Structure formats: C-alpha cells, structure tokens
Amino acid sequence: IGLILALVGTVLTMVTGIAAFDAISGLLIGLLLMGAAIFLAKEFYSLIVGESVTTSDLIKIKQAFERPEVSRLIDVKTVHLSPTEVLVAAKIDIFDHPENESYAIINNIEETIRQSLNDKKVYIYIETDKYDPNYRR
C-alpha cells in the first residue's frame, strides 16, 4: 500500500508539476506506518506483559492434575512466552509414593498437558510439596 501511495504521488507530481502531491503521499505513508505500529502494539501488548493462557486452556491444564495420586493442586501459574509457546508452573501435593513412582506421575501429568495443548510448545515445571493452609507467599 505504501509503495502504491509513493508511486501515485510521484507520478502525479511528474505529470502535473505540483510538488504537493509528493508531499501528501509522504504524509499518507507516514500515517499508514503509524497505524500499523499502533495495531501491532495492541496485538502484542499482552505478550509483552505476560498474558496467561485462555480459560479453556487453563481448565485443560487443571484437569491433567485430577488423578487419584494427586492429593491437591496447590497452585498453577501460566504465561505465554510467544503466540505458540506456553510456560506452566505448578505446585502439587501428591500422596506418599516411592520416588520413582512420583517421577512417573509427574511425567504422566506433563504428557497429558502437552497432549491437551497440542497446538503449542509447552514448558512445564511441576514441584511437589505438602499442602499447608497457613502458607503465605
């Protein structure tokens, strides 16, 4: 669009000899660029400040923790790293299991989350802890 405006302004200036056409086309190109910058700023603002996942994606993530081995999902935080990348950080309380079983439980949860968000690259960090209702951040 900008090239067309420049071409029209230049051709009109050459044909008519009025330099104002060239100046007007330059102003229109500047306005076009400013509009594009504002549009992109609005589109990517949420990614810059750290937008969390959509409600439907958060529900899918929380459902991955609903299993008999998990006593409680203490906390979960999500953030978009890019339009196609998501970071999931969670703290869970699991029933007492041997260490190797705990690893398998967490790996299974991670796989479930990745399958439910298969259109995104998902980075997952899960920490196990005992739930304490008096815990303060």
Residue 120 DSSP symbol:
S
Quick: pLDDT tens for 44-102: 776 677 788 889 999 999 999 999 999 999 999 999 888 889 999 999 999 887 878 88
Q: What is the DSSP string of 41-102?
A: HHHHHHHHHT----HHHHHHHHHHT-STTEEEEEEEEEEEEETTEEEEEEEEEE----HHHH
* Rounded-to-integer distance, Cα 105 and Cα 15, Å: 76
Cβ neighbours, 10 Å, residue 88:
24
pLDDT at residue number 129: 87
Tokens 């970071």, residue located = 87
* Rounded-to-integer distance, Cα 58 and Cα 113, Å: 10
Instruction: State the pTM of this model.
Output: 0.66
Quick: pLDDT tens for 3-26: 999 999 999 999 999 999 999 999
135 vs 107, residue with greater confidence: 107
* Rounded-to-integer distance, Cα 72 and Cα 66, Å: 8
Asked if pLDDT for residue 42 goes beyond 90, the answer is no
Contacts of 18 (CB under 8 A, 6+ apart): 12
